[in-house]
A and B are shown apart, each in its own frame.
Chain A
Amino acid sequence: MSFELFAFVILGLVAVVSGIAVITAKNPIHAVMYLVTNFFALAMFYLVLAAQFIAFLQILVYAGAIMVLFLFVVMILNLTGAIESVRDKLPAQKWIAVALAVVLMLEFAAIAGSGSIATPRAGALAESFGTSKPIGLLLYSQYLLPFEVTSVLLLIAMVGSIVLARRRED
């Protein structure tokens, strides 16, 4: 068993178990912690795939900033009691979700089975693969427009949330 396969199995187990635990955990704080674990497993996947820049960003942005905000909001709202009342409002949702998940899995299987995704060999990568310099160069040359559009989108979201919060205050 190669190291990559070994790492993949272990990380996959951690990711799947923590992912299931996120939705089954009774306590929202525990759910948030499982989600953090899941993000860590994802970051390790990126590392195994030799993309260290994205792995660090995954930890910095998702585990380090966004999930702390999640935790903060969950603690402020004290959601523990609220979960029960929400649960039965959308009974059909459960079955639709299962059906959609099955469709998605079939799609994955079809794509993987068709062989159109070629797995790149580890030796074929350049030494600078996944480091900050080539990513930065690509981001500011070839993918400049999507990058800028994303920034503007985030800005709009920020302004929008401020507007919503202000309106309630009046």
Chain B
Amino acid sequence: MVPVLIWLERKVIADIQIRLGPNRVGPFGLLQPIADALKLIMKEEVTPALVDKWVYRLAPMMMMVPALLSIAAIPIGGTVTIGPRSFALQIMGAYRGPGGFYVPELDAGILLVLALSSLGVYGIVLAGWSSANKYSLLGGMRSSAQMLSYELPLGVALVGPLMLAGTLRLTGVVESQAHPYIWFIIPQFLAFVIHLMSGIAETNRAPFDLPEAEQELVGGYHTEYSSFRFAMFFMAEYLNMVTVSAISVTFFLGGYRLFWNDIAWLGPIWFGMKLLAVLYFFMWIRGTWPRVRFDQLMKLGWKASLPIALANVVVTAAILAFTPGNPTLVLSIASVILSTAAFFGLSYAVSYTLRHKAFAREQELRRRRLEGTVEP
């Protein structure tokens, strides 16, 4: 999955920047990631002299293992039956075999995913610290501050959909979006936006890629790593991106269900399509947005995302508690109206400010020209 993703990302970014992207190895450059992976494995591994050897070797694994594990808890399909056995299409899923043997479904599956993804930060911080390199250390520090700040809105944004679903089980969240058939992106649009934004920050991707800002930090926390240890960081980053996208698909885009379709075996196909759409969105953002400054990043995390996410929780809870009938429907209508209003309001405010500023600049220039301080 990861090599395909890297190929896709390079192609998408190239397309955005009007380039061709990888096109030499294999048809459409499809074999390029394999060539890259081979190169990384065959390369000599360089360990700098002053590193803390144990921590230095442990760090890439500490990032890779949680990234791999957290995907296991996300359901990619419904429950299927083969003979006497029935199991959920999910790595850590429910299983019911012959002889009364069964594995119950993971209760509070979302907590496991969040817990595991919160462990990924150790890899980055320890890699930065153990490398004995100031750029690495700076990258590690930046990322630990960033990931701690954005973990909160990331989790709190999920509380709204969880309240609507009334369960912490991930399959429960998916099923509750099927009866009635409203994806939670509609009643919880605000939460969706915040979750996606925090997800991008949590995975250290552009425009929040300060921990590895090439222009300032050489390469960030993995500057000193080479060969396959470097590849592990790279892979873990892409895996984290897949996990965050998978969570948003499960919580906001109806998970493995499409329309009222009930064929469990088709679940992975719908899930994959939605996942690709969200991943494409991530790449699109990376290709088009400039990097934010560190103080802007912190302000966005603590002063904007978190209060908005908390307000969303309060409003959702109030509507759930005090609305007779169908609270999901009420929330959907309110959300659609509010989002549309916010969109037009914001666009108007931005265009007004820009026009105002342009006008003021024009006036200033005209005044200076009259004074003769500026060449006409």
- Which residues of A are at the interface with B, using a C-beta cutoff of 8 A? 27, 29-30, 33, 36, 52-53, 56-57, 59-60, 63-65, 68-69, 71-72, 75-76, 127, 131-132
Contacts and interface: CB of A to CB of B under 8 A. Distances in A.
Given A29-B55, A64-B119, A71-B122, A57 B129 contact: no
A52 B105 CA distance: 12
B125 A53 contact: no
A132 B107 contact: yes
Contacts of B119: 59, 63-64
B138 to A, nearest CB: 11
27 contacts: A29-B126, A33-B126, A36-B122, A52-B106, A52-B107, A56-B108, A56-B112, A57-B115, A60-B111, A60-B118, A64-B119, A64-B151, A65-B118, A65-B148, A65-B151, A68-B118, A69-B148, A71-B126, A71-B144, A72-B125, A72-B141, A72-B145, A75-B125, A75-B129, A76-B141, A131-B108, A132-B168
A68 B122 contact: yes
Contacts of B55: 29-30, 33
A29 B151 contact: no
B131 to A, nearest CB: 12
B115 A56 contact: yes
Contact of A64 (B58, B107, B118): B118
A72 B144 contact: yes
Contacts, number: 73
The 6 closest A-B pairs by CB, nearest first: A64-B118, A60-B115, A131-B107, A59-B115, A56-B111, A132-B108
Contacts of B111: 53, 56-57, 60, 132
Given A56-B108, A72-B125, A72-B144, 5 more contacts: A60-B111, A68-B118, A72-B141, A131-B107, A131-B108
A29 B148 contact: no
Contact of B107 (A53, A59, A71): A53
Contact of B144 (A56, A68, A132): A68
Nearest to B116: A59
Contacts of B116: 59
A91 B116 CA distance: 41
Nearest to B119: A64
B311 to A, nearest CB: 18
Contacts of B104: 127
Interface of B: 52, 54-55, 58, 104, 106-108, 111-112, 114-116, 118-119, 121-122, 125-126, 129, 137, 140-141, 144-145, 147-148, 151, 168
Contacts of B58: 33
A34 to B, nearest CB: 11
Nearest to B120: A64
A65 B116 CA distance: 11
A68 B107 contact: no
Nearest to B168: A132
Contacts of B129: 29, 75
Contacts of A27: 52
Contacts of A131: 107-108
Given A36-B122, A52-B108, A53-B108, A60 B114 contact: yes
A27 B129 CA distance: 12
Contacts of A56: 108, 111-112, 115
A71 B125 contact: yes
Contacts of A57: 111, 115
A68 B148 contact: yes
Nearest to B155: A60
Given A29-B129, A60-B118, A65-B118, A75 B141 contact: yes
B122 to A, nearest CB: 7
B103 to A, nearest CB: 12
A104 to B, nearest CB: 30
Contacts of B126: 29, 33, 71
A68 B151 CA distance: 12
Contacts of B148: 65, 68-69, 72
By CB atoms of chain B within 10 A, which of A27, A29, A36, A127 has the most? A29
A167 B71 CA distance: 45
Contacts of A76: 141
By CB atoms of chain A within 10 A, which of B115, B116, B137 has the most? B115
A57 B155 CA distance: 13
A109 to B, nearest CB: 34
A29 B54 CA distance: 12
A29 B131 CA distance: 13
